[in-house]
Amino acid sequence: MPYSSLLSSSSKVAIFLLVALSMLKHRSCGVTTSIALSTFWLIFSLCSIILYRSAFVTYFILKSEEPSGVIFVLDMLFYPIIFIQLILSIFTDRKRFSTLQEANIMEEVSFLSYITHLWFMKLILKGRTKLLTVEDFFFSTIYLTAKTVYANFEKHWKYYMLPGKHPDMSLLWALLKAFWPWITGVVLMDIFSAIILLVPPLLLDRIIDFTTDDFYSWRGAFYAVLIFLIDFVGKMLSNNSLHLMFISGIQFQSALMGAIFRK
C-alpha cells in the first residue's frame, strides 16, 4: 500500500471532518450558508454519489488489489461526511428576535431551505399548533420590507419627476425599472421549466429502447432516477417562479401604496 494514498485519504477525512464540525458550530450560532457554498455542497454531493459507487464496485465486485482495506474504510468515512455537510448547509438554528439587527433580520433562511420552501412548511406546521407571533416569522430577503421597496421605487420615480426632462411620465415603466430583477427571474424560471418538461419524454424513449434491447442493467435505474430528478427540478423551478411572481406583485402593490400615503 503506497503511503501517499494513505496520507491523501487520511488528510481528506481529517479536513472535511474539521469542516463539518465548523459548519455545525456555525449552525448552532445561527449562521446561514451562502448561495455559492450551498451550491458547492450540492454539486459535490452529487459527484460523490458516483465516486461512492465506484469505490464499492472496485472493492467488492471487481475485487481490485490496488485499493487496500484501510483506504476503502477511509473512503467510506469521507463520502458520508460530504453528505452531512450538505444537510448542515440547509438548516440553521434560529437567533432570538431581540438579538437581530435591522440589517439582517431578513437573512435568516438558508439558500437550499429557500428554494425548497422548507422554511414555509415549518411555519405551516407551527401555525397548526399555536397562534403565530412576530418572532416566529423569518423571511429570506430584506427586499420584501416596505421601506426598501418604496425607496427603490422612489429612486426611479423621481427620475421622471425632474422638471423639463420627461414630459411623458410613465408609472408602469418606473415600476418595471425598480423591480425588473424579480420579473426577469420569473421569466427565466418559466423558460427553464418549460425546457425541462421536454426531457422526460426523451428519457421514456430511452427506457423503451432499454426494455427491448440487451443493455447494461444499471441503465434502467439510472434513467428512472434521472426522470425523478428532472421532474423534481422542474417542479421546484415552477414553484419558485410562482413565488417570485407573487413577490413581484407584492412589491408593486407596496410601492404604489407607499407613494399614495406619502402624497
pLDDT, tens only, 83-92: 888 877 766 5
The confidence score (pLDDT) of residue 167 equals 61
Query: DSSP letters along 207-229, please?
Result: HHHHHHTT--THHHHHHHHHHHH
The residue among 249, 263, 245, 34 whose CA lies nearest residue 149 is 249
The confidence score (pLDDT) of residue 143 equals 67
Instruction: Delimit the domains of the chain by residue range.
Output: 1-91, 146-262
pLDDT, tens only, 40-64: 888 888 888 888 777 777 777 776 6
pTM: 0.61
CB atoms within 10 A of CB 95: 15
